[in-house]
């Protein structure tokens, strides 16, 4: 087969690793899903690729491109399994990682806990240097002092080093000197400098982000090296790309250098897929709902575009409390964790109340019904007992589920303490997780100025289509969209993501005094850096750029992002920039203050290559009979009647364009299961998307209407 025909998406989750192989010319898709191998994720990757290659009829295809997303980085941070890391910083700033911003995330909790720094105090060294806020050198750097600090850190066994000096974002001369010394005298160390990782203001966030990058850099490098070796041994000679948290893809070299940028690489892909489907069907507001084995994440897409944020948190002590985690200041799609996943463990709290998560059974040992040693009931066990999952058809029958084991665990661990029946306990778990997700979803949508009663829920992940109907009922959403291969939706999303990289640089200047010519020079420098990074991915394609200003009122602590056209900044008038700021600020906050002075803070550039999305082939135009798509009936729990009723079970692979399935119904495919309540109707369009309308009314109809 000719080279260039095939692309492969591979998403490593906390429980399952998903694969999708697509023939770009023919439009055929080949899918595989297997349990993640936590001790060495590349093992599952190698196995999945081999299985897919073996399934292709004829000769072995040559895969031109593999796009990969992984939870390796975020798991290393959460589980504290990164490298032993040192920090060199300016004298007087050794304790920035612990001082933070001196804010309490819960003003009324006197026992509030905070995540310990990734770099312990004994591994943090100071050097006597100082750069002013405008970039002037106040105190020069002593190379001998740097060598002494480096020697002490090496003596304490560090593997990675972070360098973050005060105000180095304005003038990195001292960080460059330290970098040269480290590369000369300690070439074995992995090095992260803040002027390369994050040249932006705010010492705490910049230091934390740089330290995080250093903390995960060795394990990321080793993993990518091992993965590349496994792929090479399988005969892969194409390009390996890694998904970024910002929604683009990048080269292995860039991911190895800046692993902090791939923390949310997996969940981001489902959002990018939702954007693509939204444009495809002209849907204005989509609520992307991705529920896998470990977590459930969401994103509101408005006017076909998901928002980007510049700061997010990882490793929260209190899972849903902002401020209780480590701040990471890199571009990331505006995701929100709204609940637990299929493997989240149900247990009794100290107050004797039912609680689900945050602990997860993950892939090892997994839910009780996986029969791999799990003893604590999970959401998946509850869904099985409620009749939503077929124990003989999980993963297409390749992984039978142990229903009696799930019954025993549910009875002992949840039903007995609650004084309830096994089914009541299972429904309690299912309904509690739906209620938790609904509350978080309403908050997320409201914060973005959206309305849950007009959004279309796009359901992804192995558990997303199971819970989408219950979530829609609780938030009042009128419609659900379940794409083809929704169970491997993130792996599908990789194909719609462009090669892209975001760069930023802080340079504070008041609007009245700013030199627009110097700003244009700064933008051009960022664009050259972005083009150089993307050339590692593809030298043949033309790079495009998007420019963004981060501005604020003088004295404010937060900035407002303004997208501007890419033309010479020197030709823009200050009145036009001020008008754009006031217009954006008023739209966000309801009013503005035209008499108050404003200032530039940070300048951002996104460099992108052209998108190369897949084409979904239409379903065969055949006159189908619905009865030929029915697998049978089975009792499942009705969320409306609170009892078991007969659900008609359909085989999704046999469905045809125009097929109409009134609820109660269950639609099964190998990677996921769709639940349709009795007050809803599911329909199939010409591309195989399943559209579920609840109560047959309300909401934006999009292309289906």
pLDDT in tens, 310-329: 888 887 777 667 788 889 99
Of the listed ranges 258-272, 516-530, 544-558, 652-666, the least confidently predicted one is: 258-272
- Cα separation of 491 and 487, whole Å? 9
- pLDDT at 251 > cutoff 50: yes
| pLDDT reported for residue 355 | 85
Q: How confident is the model at residue 235 (pLDDT cuts 50, 70, 90)?
A: confident
Q: In this structure, are residues 420 and 377 in contact, taking their beta carbons and an 8 Å threshold?
A: no
- pLDDT at 195 > cutoff 50: yes
Of the listed ranges 231-235, 250-254, 471-475, 664-668, the least confidently predicted one is: 231-235
Percent of the chain's residues with pLDDT above 70: 96
- pLDDT at 3 > cutoff 70: no
Instruction: Establish whether the linkage from the previous residue to 664 is cis, with ω within 30° of 0.
Output: yes
| pLDDT reported for residue 339 | 66
Q: Strand, helix or coil at 190?
A: strand
| pLDDT reported for residue 317 | 75
Among residues 335, 299, 319, 342, which one has the least CA distance to residue 433?
Answer: 342
Half-sphere exposure of 661 (CA within 13 A, CB side): 34
- pLDDT at 513 > cutoff 60: yes
pLDDT, averaged across the chain: 88
The residue-averaged pLDDT of 664-685 equals 94
| pLDDT reported for residue 57 | 62
Q: How confident is the model at residue 29 (pLDDT cuts 50, 70, 90)?
A: confident
Q: How confident is the model at residue 60 (pLDDT cuts 50, 70, 90)?
A: low
Element (DSSP H or E) covering residue 66? strand 63-69
- Homologous superfamily of 6-76+222-261: ATPase, nucleotide binding domain (3.30.420.40)
- Cα separation of 270 and 291, whole Å? 10
- pLDDT at 690 > cutoff 90: yes
Q: In this structure, are residues 260 and 216 in contact, taking their beta carbons and an 8 Å threshold?
A: yes
Better pLDDT: 219 or 315: 219
- pLDDT at 497 > cutoff 70: yes
Q: How confident is the model at residue 701 (pLDDT cuts 50, 70, 90)?
A: very low
Pair type for strands 479-482 and 336-340: unpaired
| pLDDT reported for residue 373 | 87
Cross-strand bridge partners of residue 131? 137
Q: In this structure, are residues 66 and 240 in contact, taking their beta carbons and an 8 Å threshold?
A: yes
Under DSSP, the state recorded for 310 is S
Q: Among 105-109, 450-454, 574-578, which range has the highest average pLDDT?
A: 574-578
| pLDDT reported for residue 283 | 92
Write down the domain spans for the chain: 6-76+222-261, 80-215, 265-341+435-496, 344-430, 500-608
- pLDDT at 364 > cutoff 80: no
Q: DSSP string spanning 458-522?
A: EEESSSHHHHHHHHHHHHT--EEEE-TTGGGHHHHHGGGPPBEEEEEEEEEEETTT--HHHHHHH
pLDDT in tens, 69-80: 887 888 788 778
Task: Give the rounded distance of the alpha carbon of 86 from its chain centre.
Answer: 28
- Cα separation of 630 and 667, whole Å? 9
| pLDDT reported for residue 700 | 39
The residue-averaged pLDDT of 111-133 equals 93
Contacts of 304 (CB under 8 A, 6+ apart): 275, 278, 279, 284
- pLDDT at 382 > cutoff 70: yes
Instruction: Establish whether the linkage from the previous residue to 365 is cis, with ω within 30° of 0.
Output: yes
pLDDT in tens, 597-619: 999 999 999 999 887 767 777 77
- Cα separation of 476 and 487, whole Å? 24
pLDDT in tens, 400-415: 999 999 999 999 999 9
The residue-averaged pLDDT of 516-542 equals 88
| pLDDT reported for residue 268 | 86
Percent of the chain's residues with pLDDT above 90: 51
Q: Is 527 left (phi over 0), alpha (psi -120 to 50) or beta?
A: alpha
Contacts of 79 (CB under 8 A, 6+ apart): none
Better pLDDT: 45 or 624: 45
Tokens of 384: 């099985």
Residue 51 backbone dihedrals phi, psi, to 5 degrees: -60, -45
Pair type for strands 500-510 and 479-482: unpaired
| pLDDT reported for residue 2 | 42
Angle between helices 422-447 and 403-410 (to 10 degrees): 90
pTM comes to 0.84
Q: DSSP string spanning 11-47?
A: EE-SSEEEEEEEETTT--EEEEEEE--TT-HHHHHHH
- pLDDT at 172 > cutoff 90: yes
- Cα separation of 290 and 460, whole Å? 5
- Cα separation of 389 and 675, whole Å? 9
- Cα separation of 299 and 274, whole Å? 9
Identical fold for domains 6-76+222-261 and 265-341+435-496, yes or no, is yes
- Cα separation of 608 and 500, whole Å? 4
Contacts of 198 (CB under 8 A, 6+ apart): 169, 205, 206, 209, 210, 329, 330, 504
Q: How confident is the model at residue 257 (pLDDT cuts 50, 70, 90)?
A: very high
Q: In this structure, are residues 447 and 424 in contact, taking their beta carbons and an 8 Å threshold?
A: no
Answer CATH for 265-341+435-496 from 3.30.420.40, 1.10.8.60, 3.10.180.10, 1.10.645.10: 3.30.420.40
The residue-averaged pLDDT of 102-119 equals 84
| pLDDT reported for residue 319 | 63
């Amino acid at each position: 087969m000719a080279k260039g025909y095939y692309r492969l998406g591979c998403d490593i989750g906390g429980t399952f690793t998903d694969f999708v192989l697509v023939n770009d010319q023919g439009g055929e898709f080949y899918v595989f899903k297997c349990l993640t191998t936590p001790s060495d994720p590349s093992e599952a990757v190698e196995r999945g690729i081999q299985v897919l290659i073996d399934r292709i009829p004829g000769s072995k295809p040559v895969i031109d491109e593999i796009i990969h997303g992984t939870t390796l980085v975020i798991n290393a941070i959460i589980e504290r399994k990164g490298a032993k890391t040192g920090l060199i910083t300016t004298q007087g700033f050794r304790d920035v990682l612990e001082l933070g911003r001196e804010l309490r995330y819960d003003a009324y909790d006197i026992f509030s806990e905070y995540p310990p720094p990734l770099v312990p105090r004994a591994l943090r060294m100071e050097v006597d240097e100082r750069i002013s806020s405008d970039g002037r050198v106040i105190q020069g750097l002593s190379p001998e002092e740097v060598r002494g600090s480096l020697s002490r850190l090496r003596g304490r066994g560090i593997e990675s080093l972070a360098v973050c000096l005060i105000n180095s974002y304005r003038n990195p001369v001292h960080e460059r000197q330290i970098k040269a010394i480290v590369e000369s005298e300690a070439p074995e160390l992995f090095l992260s400098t803040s002027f390369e990782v994050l040249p932006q203001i705010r010492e705490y966030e910049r230091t934390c982000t740089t330290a995080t990058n250093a903390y995960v850099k060795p394990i990321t490098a080793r993993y990518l090296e091992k993965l590349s070796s496994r792929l090479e041994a399988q005969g892969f000679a194409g390009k390996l790309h890694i998904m970024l948290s910002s929604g683009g893809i990048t080269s292995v070299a860039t991911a190895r250098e800046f692993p902090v940028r791939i923390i949310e690489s997996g969940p981001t892909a489902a959002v990018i897929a939702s954007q693509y489907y939204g444009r495809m069907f002209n849907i204005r507001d989509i609520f992307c709902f991705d529920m896998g084995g470990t977590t459930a994440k969401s994103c509101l897409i408005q006017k076909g575009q998901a928002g980007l944020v510049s700061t997010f948190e990882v490793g929260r002590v209190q899972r849903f409390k902002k401020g209780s985690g480590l701040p990471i200041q890199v571009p990331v799609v505006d995701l929100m964790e709204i609940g637990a996943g299929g493997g989240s463990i149900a247990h009794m709290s100290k107050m004797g109340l039912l609680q689900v998560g945050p602990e997860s059974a993950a892939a090892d040992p997994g839910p009780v019904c996986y029969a791999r040693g799990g003893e604590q009931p999970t959401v998946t066990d509850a869904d099985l007992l409620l009749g939503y999952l077929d124990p003989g058809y999980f993963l297409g029958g390749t992984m039978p589920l142990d229903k009696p084991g799930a019954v025993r665990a549910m009875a002992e661990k949840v039903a007995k303490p609650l004084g309830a029946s096994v089914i009541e306990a299972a429904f309690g778990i299912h309904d509690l997780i739906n209620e938790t997700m609904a509350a978080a979803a309403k908050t997320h949508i409201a914060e973005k100025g959206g309305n849950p009663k007009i959004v279309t829920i796009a359901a992804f992940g192995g558990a997303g289509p199971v819970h989408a109907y219950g979530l829609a009922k609780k938030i009042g959403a009128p419609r659900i969209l379940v794409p083809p291969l929704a169970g491997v939706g993130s792996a599908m999303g990789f194909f719609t993501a462009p090669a892209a990289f975001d760069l930023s640089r802080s340079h504070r200047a008041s609007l009245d005094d700013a030199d627009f010519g110097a700003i244009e020079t700064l933008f051009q420098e960022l664009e050259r850096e972005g083009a150089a990074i993307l050339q590692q991915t593809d030298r043949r394609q033309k790079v495009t750029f998007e420019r963004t200003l981060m501005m604020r009122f003088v004295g404010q602590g937060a900035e407002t992002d303004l997208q501007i056209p890419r033309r010479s900044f020197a030709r823009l008038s200050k009145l036009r920039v001020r008008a754009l700021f006031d217009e954006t600020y008023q739209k966000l906050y309801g009013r503005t203050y035209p008499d108050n002075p404003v200032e530039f803070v940070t300048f951002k550039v996104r460099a992108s290559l052209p998108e190369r999305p897949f084409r979904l082939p239409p379903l065969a135009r055949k006159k189908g009979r619905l009865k030929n798509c029915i697998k049978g009936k089975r009792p499942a729990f009705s969320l409306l009647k609170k009892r078991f009723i007969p659900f008609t079970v359909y085989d999704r692979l046999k469905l045809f364009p125009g097929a109409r399935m009134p609820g109660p119904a269950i639609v099964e495919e190998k990677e996921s299961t769709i639940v349709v309540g009795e007050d809803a109707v599911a329909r199939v369009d010409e591309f195989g998307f399943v559209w579920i309308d609840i109560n047959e009314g309300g909401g934006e109809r999009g292309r289906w209407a």
